[in-house]
């Protein structure tokens, strides 16, 4: 057996190494990096999320994810389906008609707040009244909502409402600012009168004529109507218009209606027409006008009464 050790491996010569390098052909773009750069791992592509219908019916106040379209509770910060931030999410609005309905449900109070009232010790009547009130309020709200929709849709219903509203407006105007119409008597009688100045002159509508009575009498003018009337106002012209200071003028009138009721009226000492109001004239067919006091004249002794016109409510 040969015990001679093997020869060590021979290193290639310079010529052999140069020849080996010439056999290697570099591939463009592979294994080449810029100066000072390290090769990078390719980044994984971001997953594409498509909008889908929400898994539950959207409610007012819900936050709608802009990436996947899922509805989220108002308290969430990130989408429950895709995890996207809800900072810019769209909020589901409350329908306008729901704002008309009364709010229900339990009231949320802050920590430490106390309710102003308590149901302890409250009577059954109070509880029942409160429940009835709440139910009535809901019914009225629903009826108003239905009426509003019907008013906008139905021209017939709109015309009916407008007609009733106009009638209500006229009723309020008559109540606040009532209108009056004059009423003329069918017969006039005076218990005392001077020649050429009869009692009829006080109701003829002519301001140049007047009723005159002797100053020592307590004259009464009686007006009779063809039907029962509700007398409420009168316009009075006292004295003689062509010589106001030359004769006495009525100062206080006492009205006696055929219904048995009476009224007293105070007048001013002026030639201009005066509007007076009185009560108890409802349903009267006649009225007696008693002159019980006068403004005295410094010249004459007789009483002059130019005009009195009665009015009824329209």
Nearest-angstrom CA–CA distance, 246 and 297? 6
Q: Encode pLDDT of 89-108 as tens digits.
A: 999 988 877 766 666 555 65
Q: Are 89 and 64 in contact (CB under 8 A)?
A: yes
Q: Are 223 and 289 in contact (CB under 8 A)?
A: yes
Concatenated DSSP letters of 253-304: EEEEETTS-EEEEE--S-SS-EEEE-SS-TTEEEEEEEEEEEEPPSS--SEE
Domain locations along the chain: 125-176, 181-313
Q: Are 213 and 194 in contact (CB under 8 A)?
A: yes
Q: Which tokens sit at 260? A: 């048995």
Q: Residue 190: which of 214, 216, 206 has the closest Cα?
A: 214
Q: Which tokens sit at 295? A: 């403004």
Q: Encode pLDDT of 156-173 as tens digits.
A: 888 888 888 887 877 777
Q: Residue 213: which of 234, 236, 235, 190 has the closest Cα?
A: 190
Q: According to the model, what pLDDT value does residue 33 have?
A: 53
Q: According to the model, what pLDDT value does residue 133 have?
A: 86
Q: Residue 280: which of 309, 294, 259, 299 has the closest Cα?
A: 259
CA angle (167 as vertex; 161, 168 as ends), nearest 5: 90
Question: Which sign, positive or negative, has the C-alpha torsion 291, 295, 297, 298?
Answer: positive
Q: According to the model, what pLDDT value does residue 26 have?
A: 61
Average pLDDT, the chain: 83
User: CATH second-level architecture of 181-313?
Assistant: Sandwich (2.60)
- Going from the C-alpha of 216 to that of each of 33, 164, 201, 245, the distances in angstroms are 140, 58, 20, 18
- Secondary structure element (H or E) that encloses residue 234, with its range: strand 231-238
Q: According to the model, what pLDDT value does residue 237 have?
A: 95
Nearest-angstrom CA–CA distance, 307 and 211? 8
Q: pTM for the complete prediction?
A: 0.49
248 forms beta bridges with: 303
Q: According to the model, what pLDDT value does residue 163 have?
A: 83
Q: Which residues of the chain have pLDDT under 50?
A: 118
Q: According to the model, what pLDDT value does residue 202 have?
A: 95
Q: According to the model, what pLDDT value does residue 313 have?
A: 87
């Amino acid at each position: 057996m040969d015990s001679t050790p093997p020869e060590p491996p021979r290193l290639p010569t310079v010529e052999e190494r140069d020849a080996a390098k010439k056999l290697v052909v570099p591939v463009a773009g592979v294994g080449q990096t810029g100066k000072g750069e390290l090769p990078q791992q390719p980044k994984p592509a971001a997953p594409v999320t498509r909008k889908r219908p929400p898994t539950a019916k959207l409610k007012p106040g819900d936050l709608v994810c802009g990436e996947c379209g899922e509805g989220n509770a108002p308290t969430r910060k990130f989408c429950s389906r895709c995890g996207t931030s809800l900072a810019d999410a769209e909020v589901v609005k409350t329908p306008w008609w729901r704002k008309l309905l009364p709010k229900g449900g339990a009231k949320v109070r802050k920590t430490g707040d106390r309710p102003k009232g308590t149901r302890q010790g409250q009577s059954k009547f109070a509880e029942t009244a409160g429940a009835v009130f709440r139910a009535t309020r809901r019914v009225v709200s629903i009826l108003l909502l239905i009426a509003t929709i019907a008013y906008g849709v139905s021209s017939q219903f709109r015309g009916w409402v407008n007609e009733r509203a106009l009638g209500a407006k006229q009723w309020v105007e008559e109540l606040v600012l009532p209108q009056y119409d004059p009423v003329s008597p069918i017969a006039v009688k005076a218990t005392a009168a001077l020649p050429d100045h009869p009692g009829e002159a006080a109701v003829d509508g002519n301001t140049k004529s007047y009723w005159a009575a002797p100053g020592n009498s307590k004259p009464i003018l009686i007006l009779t109507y063809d039907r029962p009337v509700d007398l409420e106002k009168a316009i009075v012209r006292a004295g003689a218009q062509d010589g106001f200071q030359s004769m006495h003028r009525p100062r206080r009138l006492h009205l006696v209606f055929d219904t048995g009721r009476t009224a007293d009226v105070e007048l001013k000492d002026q030639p201009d027409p005066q509007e007076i109001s009185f009560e108890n004239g409802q349903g009267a067919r006649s009225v007696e006008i008693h002159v019980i006091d006068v403004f005295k004249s410094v010249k004459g002794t007789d009483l002059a009464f130019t005009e009195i016109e009665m009015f009824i409510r329209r």
